[in-house]
Amino acid sequence: MLILGIETSCDETSIGLLEVTKIKADFFIKPISNLLVSQVKIHEKYGGVVPILASREHYKNLPFLFKKLIREEKLSVEKDIDLVAVTNGPGLIPALLIGVNFSRTLSWYFDKPIIGVSHLSGHLFSFLLPPTKKKKKISLSYLNSLFPLIALIVSGGHTLLVYCKKINNYTIIGETLDDAAGECFDKTARILNLGYPGGPIISQLSQKQRRKKAKSKISPETGKIEFPRPMLSQNNYDFSFSGLKTAVLYFWQKLEKEEKEKLIPAIAYEIEEAITDVLVKKTFKTVKDFKVKTLIIGGGVSANLRLREKIKETIKNEKIKINFFSPSLEYCTDNAIMIALAGFFESLNKKEDWREIDAISNRKF
């Protein structure tokens, strides 16, 4: 079957085509096309996403990407598309509505099945996706053997831990009480006048600081700047990053101009260390308490190399017997292929009428 995926939950306009072939107890997935238009340049001067501007860009970009997909893949929507999968939450309502209404129209006009997909489900399943144009075989018995699992979904808008008993059976057991981890990266980068989005910039500076210390044979932890690890000692699975952001702000305001220029890489290093320390330690508390077989990560911040490194180090150093999976970097950011795949799994249980689909800003799973 061919699944058309549509994603407009925030500031990435994406449309994709996924082929899923089911043969007995196995299925083959092949991303055919994954088109995306980023809005970073539009929002960077504001230091974050402006919902009404994001909505306007989706309105312009989505029909363009749809026509491009149809032209490049020589598709007939009426004959070739078997399912329309659209993100209908969580996300920014003005942005979600563009994708939802576009998809509802396609479903109505071409009489195609449609399913509203949780953006979080897309990130959860993104680790299964092969590169575009590559085919991947997935055994249902193998997939089922990975459960129960813990998923850390971490991005600019979300930071949560999910217990998954089986496919389409999810329970959120921990989430951020204020800022998401990606949001903390963005806001601290803004304090340091580094631009938007903050995660990649802070990570690059942090790596630079780490290399500098390695060359001088001095531990990057030695000396000095130390920011809090919020809620790390609390006996729960929740997160909080607003206090870290405030600590960075107060520290920055006390510095002289010359000190600021000199200390930016060291500050960036400590910001990344603080955020990833909290993410990793909270995640492994969950892994141990729930005795799961598998750990997966997804979302924009899952592209952070330091986060991946610390997870692997923890598994090795503590001799934890667990499967660990992370998505390819191309599937960490918001994209339509992950929505198409999540739509396939959700459609195993149900399909919806286009009249039933609506945008739900606070949807979970």
CA gap 232, 273 in Å, rounded? 13
Please tell me the total number of residues recorded for the chain in this structure.
365
- Can you tell me the mean pLDDT for 257-262? 92
Residue partners of 34: CB distance under 8 A and separation at least 6: 14, 16, 17, 132, 330, 335, 336, 337
Are residues 50 and 187 part of one domain?
Answer: no
Q: Is 39 helix (H, G, I), strand (E, B) or coil?
A: coil
Are residues 175 and 114 part of one domain?
Answer: no
Is the pLDDT at 294 greater than 70? The verdict is: yes
DSSP conformation letters of 298-321: ESGGGG-HHHHHHHHHHHHHTT--
Q: Count other C-beta atoms under 10 Å from residue 289's C-beta.
A: 13
Are residues 309 and 194 part of one domain?
Answer: yes
Q: What is the pLDDT of residue 222?
A: 43
Let me know if residue 140 belongs to a domain.
Answer: no
Pairing state of beta strands 159-166 and 149-154? Answer: antiparallel
Q: Count other C-beta atoms under 10 Å from residue 98's C-beta.
A: 22
Whether omega for the bond prior to residue 63 falls within 30 degrees of 0, making it cis, is no
Q: What is the pLDDT of residue 143?
A: 93
CA gap 34, 15 in Å, rounded? 6
Greatest CA span in the chain, whole angstroms? Answer: 67
Are residues 190 and 88 part of one domain?
Answer: no
Are residues 160 and 285 part of one domain?
Answer: yes
CA gap 58, 146 in Å, rounded? 36
Pairing state of beta strands 149-154 and 83-89? Answer: unpaired
Are residues 186 and 307 part of one domain?
Answer: yes
Let me know if residue 143 belongs to a domain.
Answer: no
Domain count, the chain: 2
Q: Can you give the pTM of this predicted structure? A: 0.94
Q: Are residues 330 and 12 in contact, defined by beta-carbon separation less than 8 angstroms?
A: no
pLDDT in tens, 162-188: 999 999 899 999 999 999 999 999 999
Are residues 153 and 112 part of one domain?
Answer: no
Is the pLDDT at 254 greater than 80? The verdict is: yes
Place of tokens 């974050």: 48
CA angle 162, 202, 282 (to 5 degrees): 25
Let me know if residue 96 belongs to a domain.
Answer: yes
Let me know if residue 10 belongs to a domain.
Answer: yes
Let me know if residue 306 belongs to a domain.
Answer: yes
Pairing state of beta strands 294-298 and 323-325? Answer: parallel
pLDDT in tens, 45-102: 888 999 999 999 999 999 999 999 999 999 999 999 999 999 999 999 999 999 999 9
Let me know if residue 16 belongs to a domain.
Answer: yes
The secondary structure of 194-249, three-state, reads CCCCHHHHHHHHHHHHHHHHHHCCCCCCCCCCCCCCCCCCCCCCCECCHHHHHHHH
Mean predicted lDDT score pLDDT of the chain: 94
Are residues 181 and 50 part of one domain?
Answer: no
- Can you tell me the mean pLDDT for 110-129? 97
- Can you tell me the mean pLDDT for 283-289? 97
pLDDT in tens, 208-227: 898 877 655 444 444 579 99
pLDDT in tens, 230-245: 999 899 999 999 999 9
Q: What is the pLDDT of residue 74?
A: 96
CA gap 243, 120 in Å, rounded? 25
Q: What is the pLDDT of residue 312?
A: 98
Is the pLDDT at 141 greater than 60? The verdict is: yes
Q: What is the pLDDT of residue 150?
A: 98
Q: What is the pLDDT of residue 22?
A: 87
- Can you tell me the mean pLDDT for 300-317? 97
Let me know if residue 345 belongs to a domain.
Answer: yes
Q: What is the pLDDT of residue 86?
A: 98
Q: Are residues 153 and 90 in contact, defined by beta-carbon separation less than 8 angstroms?
A: no
Let me know if residue 275 belongs to a domain.
Answer: yes
Give the domain extent around 31: 2-131+333-356
Are residues 319 and 172 part of one domain?
Answer: yes
Q: Are residues 141 and 41 in contact, defined by beta-carbon separation less than 8 angstroms?
A: no
Which residue type, as a one-letter code, is found at position 257?
Answer: K
CA distances from 244 to 110, 143, 248, 272 (A): 50, 38, 6, 11
Are residues 345 and 297 part of one domain?
Answer: no
Q: What is the pLDDT of residue 215?
A: 59
Q: What is the pLDDT of residue 211?
A: 83
The CATH number assigned to the domain holding 347 equals 3.30.420.40
Of 322-326, 341-345, 347-351, least confident by mean pLDDT is 347-351
- Strand-pairing partners, residue 166, are 169
pLDDT in tens, 265-284: 999 999 999 999 999 999 99
Are residues 157 and 298 part of one domain?
Answer: yes
Q: What is the pLDDT of residue 217?
A: 47
Are residues 101 and 179 part of one domain?
Answer: no
